[in-house]
Structure 1
Amino acid sequence: MKNYKIYITAFIIAMVTLTACSDDFIDVPSRNPNSDDFFKTEQDYQDVLIGVYDLLQASFWNVMVGEIASDNTLAGGDPDNIDGPAMQDIDNMVHNDVNEQLRDIWRWMYAGLNRANYMLEFRDNIDFDTKNDMIGQALFLRAYFTFELAKWFGPLPLLVENGRIKNKRMQFGEQFTISRTATIADTYTLIEADLIEAIGLLNTTQDLEYKVTKGAAQSLLGKVYLYHATFDAAKYTDAATVLDQVISDGNYTLASNFGDIFEHPGENAAGSIFEVQYTDVEGAGFDCLQCSEGNVAVGFSGVREYVGPTFDSGYGFNTPTAEAASIFTTGDLRKDATIFDAEAIATSYQPSRGETKLYNRKYLPRKGDLGLGDNNLTNPNNYRAIRYADVLLMAAEANVQKSAPDVTKAKGYLDLVRDRAFGNTTNRIDATLENILQERRLELMGEGHRFFDLVRTGNADGTIDGFTPNKNELFPIPLIELELAGAVERWGQNPGY
């Protein structure tokens, strides 16, 4: 995690037991730690919890590929060769079940979920003063990983017991009997239960920046309720209630200058509720992208062979469309902090595939970062996973959608975001659902939310080129995962694939 030296403990799952048929054979205990007999100290819990956090850094594809799937950006990449074919397919809405990026998302998010399960499996081993908060963090992280999987793949294979995700690792052999949740709504219900418990355990503030807080769990719960509301409109009221509470508690404020948010000094600042921490102090390579402690998506989004001020070069993926850049109105200060026009600033650069000359400025590699190993894989730019502006706009949406709408409250939240965006109070607009959703696009462009916002609100068809209703709402489960689990028939593939 950024600014912290983290050592991830490698846990050996199996202990070899030696037996003999003669009294002369010596039974020598293994020197390796036994994962079932590990949690004996507070530090043991802390070490495992850090290991759970570590998998958050592997969520870079979720952000970048999610953006490419929307109408905000193109896949980009090498203009002369088919560079990143899996991303090109997603951009063109021709997903398939052997897509390497989709498989990475599936297996890395499940790895994070299973690490959280490992800690929760032994949550009652010992007691210590900080235990409740640690368990709350583990529950939040399990909910986060599960929510990411549900957004991409829908109903999930999960161990479930008494209406909760079971506090138990999914171990080898269980994949042959485990079932998918019946519906996406059922999956959201399980996630909500984890977050509700986490809220009751988490601290409001933390001693270290990477640790999640009660406000982060409330904010994520509000977001899950909004997704759940696609299937149950009553969830809009639940979303409004919990998001209103985050706002009224007064623990977060908007950064005064939007452009400061995505620079290094803006990390973990007042307007940030939850960030994935990255660092550039450890090198990485393509043989193990998930091993990188840096934000891989940043290097992938950099301008190809860029020469110029402020930024380093990259691979030229995830390039904003001209249409996306055009929606910012005159005076909107967010445009220059969101859209980088290489043609206007670069001394020289190589165009990307489908070149628009535009790049995602929020997550470009900055000059001066160490970039050890392959410098395009180890950028230290944190991912701002949940921002206060996101919460304000989700709360505005929930308040206009709930059974007893509160448009006045919604407009107050919308005004806060608009006032910061323009630096004045003269650009306020009515709090209609259409305006709020458009404001989400403007505020959060380049941050990986747009595709899923379009899907959950029923606006993807006709907005995303090539989008096929009743199919592209979800992505295909990787075929190899179905085959390894013997679940081609038992789980089934998502509709249309």
Structure 2
Amino acid sequence: MKTVYTFLLGSLLLITACDNDLDQVPPINATSDSLKDFTGVLNAAYFYQIGAATPMAVMGDFRADNAFMFEAPFTEFDEFDADLPVMEDQFFGPFYTAMYRSILSTNNVIENSSNATQIGEAKFLRALSYFKLVQVFGDVPVNLLAAPPVDDTSIFARQPASDVYDNVIIPDLQDAISALDNSEIANDRASQIAAQSLLGKVYVHRGDFSSAETHLAAVVNGAIAADVNLQDSFNEIFGAANEGDDNKEIIFATKISSSVEDEYSFSEFWSWSGGLDTKSLEPLDTDLIAAFDASPGDLRRAVTIDETLLASPKFPQVNGPEHDWIEIRLADVILLYSEALNENGNTAGALTELNKIRTRAGLANSTATTQAQVRQAIQDERRLELAFEGHRWFDLVRTSTVDAEMGQTINSDYHLFPVPISEILATGGVITQNPGY
């Protein structure tokens, strides 16, 4: 994090973003106390989310039972032991740095901008960044200052994940909901419905299903008014050809463009899932094939898995560098809402929501009846619906089903990922490592 906190605002402002809405050419010598327009700083916060896309995709699917690595040391993703930190340079380090750079940008906007909408967007992005960090590492350092004191090492101390949720993520999303409307969804900006969706998801991850239901219901019931709806066909959601105003299912995505060089210089998520990286030329786990076998007639199958190539065609390799990374889409929210309803005792309502997703997939209504059966049905549906979108591992961890679904007993230390050793060394050990690594 030393590199993050000494990162100059001037370099933040030189970032070029992904489309015309994010274009910025600010002066090189601008400082936060001389700026009047913080558009460039806010755009930098959006830009840095790109650095999290592939690491989250790999952590979410290759750590779980959807995909696996072939070549050492990448096979450490499938080995639950102390050796995973060897993957720091390609995954954990770039992810960590990108998130704290995004946070530093948002802090500048929140602290210095007088534009309420910009502040709302910044708070959404800061909450999103910290949510990703907590999912991956658990306890993390918290910085809410635009110019944190570099001589105060206490700021590097990791804060309990529960405090990060209570003191940063949830308040930021509540503020974003109040500050934003839904007029900029088509322009790929943070919106009220995106903040509501993320807050509902956060509450699900915390096991607060009562609060989750309130916010997820607001999204599901308000989707049409916000011009959000499920695409008629599953194959209309993914790939560069399906991006833009016609895709109403995407609530928020991180924009990616081949014309913009981001800091993540390794193989991108579409290459990993498509089997184009030599570290895993046939990444498809046969366990995911079996899951689709148990769902005969599922229209998502051909979009998600290729049994000949043993890879996923979900993000087509044609125009791969133009694929946006989907952060939130309506189907994910509907399934989370179904889960919250079921956990709150409304199993009938949960089935109604679950069957919306099954109907589009060409499947009959679920035959589950009890709360336990519906709970399993929802998790099975999430796997098939969201495969290769970076959700699977984090779903297994939050539902305490890692061992059952992975078919082995895994030390809970390895539910989290290793903190980059470079950050530990840069802070003289103030930042500490997760147990087990």
Q: Corresponding residue for 1:470?
A: 412
Q: Corresponding residue for 2:92?
A: 102
Q: Corresponding residue for 1:180?
A: 158
**CA separation in 1, counterparts of 2:209 and 2:142?**
26
Out of 56, 62, 66, the position equivalent to 1:68 is 62
Question: What is the root-mean-square deviation in Å for CA atoms of aligned residues?
Answer: 2.5
Out of 222, 229, 240, the position equivalent to 1:264 is 240
**CA separation in 1, counterparts of 2:281 and 2:177?**
37
Q: Corresponding residue for 1:350?
A: none
CA contact (8 A) 2:68 2:283 kept: yes
Q: Corresponding residue for 1:496?
A: 436
Q: Corresponding residue for 2:343?
A: 401
Q: Structure 2 matches for 1:150-299, cutoff 5 A?
A: 150-159=134-143, 166-175=144-153, 177-181=155-159, 183-189=160-166, 190-206=168-184, 208-229=186-207, 235-249=208-222, 250=224, 251=226, 252-268=228-244, 269-282=247-260, 284=261, 289-290=263-264, 296-299=268-271
Return the index of the structure with the highest Cα Rg.
Answer: 1
What are structure 2's unaligned runs of at least 5 residues? 1-16
Q: TM-score, normalised to structure 2's length?
A: 0.85
Q: Corresponding residue for 1:459?
A: 401
Q: Structure 2 matches for 1:6-85, cutoff 5 A?
A: 6-7=22-23, 33-40=29-36, 44-59=37-52, 60-76=54-70, 82=72, 85=73
Out of 308, 312, 315, the position equivalent to 1:360 is 312
Helix, strand or coil at the partner of 2:158: coil
> Residues 379 and 275 (structure 1 numbering): CA distance in 2 closer, same or farther, change over 3 Å?
same
**CA separation in 2, counterparts of 1:118 and 1:317?**
42
Structure 1 counterpart of 2:217, one-letter code? D
Q: Deviations over 1:28-48 (max 9, x none)?
A: xxxx624232322xxx21111
CA contact (8 A) 2:185 2:252 kept: no
CA contact (8 A) 1:176 1:485 kept: no
Q: Deviations over 1:349-384 (max 9, x none)?
A: xxxxxxxx4112112411xx3xxxxxxxx7101112
Q: Corresponding residue for 1:302?
A: 274
**CA separation in 2, counterparts of 1:45 and 1:318?**
45
CA contact (8 A) 1:120 1:167 kept: no
Q: Corresponding residue for 2:361?
A: 421
Q: Corresponding residue for 1:92?
A: 79
Q: TM-score, normalised to structure 1's length?
A: 0.76
Q: Deviations over 1:31-68 (max 9, x none)?
A: x624232322xxx2111111111011111211223211
Alignment identity in percent? 27
**CA separation in 2, counterparts of 1:291 and 1:495?**
29
> Residues 255 and 2 (structure 1 numbering): CA distance in 2 closer, same or farther, change over 3 Å?
farther
Matched, 1:323 2:296: no
Matched, 1:4 2:15: no
More helix by share: 2
**CA separation in 2, counterparts of 1:454 and 1:384?**
20
CA contact (8 A) 2:33 2:112 kept: no
Out of 322, 334, 358, the position equivalent to 2:300 is 334
**Count of aligned positions:** 406
**CA separation in 2, counterparts of 1:280 and 1:452?**
29
What are structure 1's unaligned runs of at least 5 residues? 12-31, 125-130, 160-165, 230-234, 305-312, 344-356, 370-377
* Residue 298 (structure 1) shift: 1.6
